[in-house]
Amino acid sequence: MRISITDIKQKKSKSEKIVVVTAYDYSTAKICDTSGIEMILVGDSAGMVMLGYDSTIPVTVDEMLVFCKGVVNGSKNSLIVADMPFGSYQSDLSLAFSNAIKFIKLGCSAIKVEGGRGVVPLVKHLTQNGIPVMGHIGLKPQTSPLWEGYKVQGKSCNTAVDLFLDALELEKAGAFSIVLEMVTSEIAEKISQGVSIPTIGIGSGNKCDGQVLVLHDLLGLYDVIKPKFAKRYAESYSLFSTAITNYISDVKSGGFPDPQHSFSMSKEELQNFENYLSSLKAGKKGDGEK
């Protein structure tokens, strides 16, 4: 049975840290799930990580549904949260509800939307209609680049107050959890203390109730992109690159596949086939003589 929203909320009261990973497909979701990851976020960062977009803005609902389906199929225990992509929830409550339902029917446990007090009516509407919602404040990848780029949030008293009020209002609206992205560690701690729902930090210090990292970041699958907040637990890019280079070399030299990685027929059946080929050659020769 999957971890429930209630299970996640209770972890805060027990002072138990929540571990979240952002993943996008069946294979990696299965690894995360069997490893004990409690929550998998199918982020719209899939547009950049999996499709090569320059930002998350072009990502569509249909694209997100494909990624979510893979993650749902690859997991049995983790709670699955689907990122609502840019444009799928901002303009109309009915449209937002319709899009959110698609993810829930697919097998996701909840959806995530970016924004503070501005999305409170949306959060209320969705939660009142039975859809669990995770909030997201601080750096908002869908819109922050349009205004100021990727900058740390909460560095001044005024911006800290805004973030704090955003968190309080999201909780009142019914959000079960809030992602704090690139928020100063001091303010992330104050927000975590000020709300009764779990906070999930990314680049926001270790006083949040949980942490989330993109799987590709923690596995070191990028050779250039290395966010300051992302600890690399492996250097998979170089590992994969070396493996592929060795594969190329083996194929070029004829070393792969070797007998260990090939299939054989019995000597008797091989002899029967060679006899068959010989009979064909004999038949062609006879036709030529006629």
Just list the catalytic residues. 181
118-146 as b/e: b if 16+ CB within 10 A: ebbebbbbbbeeebbbbbbbbbbbbebbe
DSSP string for the chain? -PPPHHHHHHHHHTT--EEEEE--SHHHHHHHHHHT-SEEEE-TTHHHHTT--SSSTT--HHHHHHHHHHHHHT-SSSEEEEEPPTTSSSS-HHHHHHHHHHHHHHT-SEEE--BSGGGHHHHHHHHHTT--EEEEEES-TTTHHHHT-S--B--SHHHHHHHHHHHHHHHHHT-SEEEEESB-HHHHHHHHHH-SS-EEEESS-TTSSEEEEEHHHHTT--SS---TT---S--HHHHHHHHHHHHHHHHHHT-SS-GGGS----HHHHHHHHHHHHHHHHHHHHHHH-
Cα–Cα distance, 51 to 212 (Å, whole number): 21
